[in-house]
Amino acid sequence: MKNPFNFINRISKTFVALLITLGSLTFLAQFAAAQEKNIKNIVIVHGAFADGSGWRGVHDILVQKGYHVTVVQNPLTGLKDDIEATKRILDKQDGPTILVGHSWGGVVITEAGLHEKVAALVYVAAYQPDKGENTIKWASSLPSAPEFGILPPDDKGFVYYAKDKFHAGFAADLSKAETDFLFDSQQPIYAESFSTPVADAAWRTKPSYGIVATEDKSINPDIQRNMYKRSNTKITEVKGSHVIFASNPDAVARVIISASQNK
């Protein structure tokens, strides 16, 4: 008769091996969760009528806290072009990334955020369309402020912000010198960008954080609230103009940090 203890011994070894395997999987899951809560890569997408230079204040705060920050210089020649420019930068990141978008940049990150490395989205006074929606749908959903200064397209189809309304409509809480620099470095956007719908919306499957600039004269703050509430975005209200990232970089950096820590 075969020794019954041999069978029991084999069962015991199998059970121990199973426990070790389950323990390893639990550890890996906990490690992955810990990594997810300590994301160090930040990619920033600027909006229309601007370039990435206005984000220097936020950049410096985050870098001093140990983050790796990259600012996309999107060409503003069309939604597809801006998404591709953003994805090229995301491809270079070495792990999970927080994707930040300002104004028009919010439209860009809504679709570009589908990239596998994007862990969460941060909308800074930004548009946040759904699949099949475009910027015009939301920009025209409520009246514009009197200070609003976006001009009609020029003969090449590009849109600029008017100089006589740039301070009041775009950057009212910055000094004249700062506003003059922003105006002189503004990048026009191809008008058809605003009518191009997004193919899909990353905020439907990824955590989203939104900053409402309460004194914004370029995007009605109530439009920002309506979009963010619709998507269950975690909202932070900050007093400031459309370029809240330049006038209050500390507040914007805090929201980005909260997103990186999954708070």
In tens, the pLDDT along 62-103 reads 999 999 999 999 999 999 999 999 999 999 999 999 999 999
Helical axes 249-260 vs 56-64, angle rounded to 10°: 50
Same domain, 87 and 181: yes
Domain span at residue 11 reads 1-36
What is the average pLDDT score of the chain? Answer: 90
* Residue 10 pLDDT greater than 90, yes or no: no
Same domain, 46 and 23: no
Residue 181 or residue 16, greater confidence? 181
Same domain, 31 and 10: yes
Rounded CA-CA distance 152/244 in Å is 25
Same domain, 118 and 131: yes
Question: What pLDDT is attached to residue 3?
Answer: 53
Same domain, 1 and 55: no
Nearest-10 Cα torsion for 73, 88, 29, 37: 0
Please, are residues 88 and 108 in contact by the beta-carbon 8 Å criterion?
no
In tens, the pLDDT along 134-149 reads 999 999 999 999 999 9
Query: Which pTM was predicted?
Result: 0.86
Same domain, 59 and 132: yes
Same domain, 31 and 58: no
Domain holding 191: CATH number? 3.40.50.1820
Same domain, 152 and 256: yes
Structural domain count of the chain: 2
Same domain, 132 and 158: yes
Q: How many CB atoms lie within 10 A of CB 183?
A: 18
Rounded CA-CA distance 151/148 in Å is 9
Judged by phi (left if over 0) then psi (alpha if -120 to 50, else beta), residue 67 lies in: beta
Same domain, 25 and 104: no
pLDDT band, very low/low/confident/very high, at 6 (cuts 50, 70, 90): low
Same domain, 5 and 66: no
Same domain, 127 and 114: yes
Please, are residues 181 and 254 in contact by the beta-carbon 8 Å criterion?
no
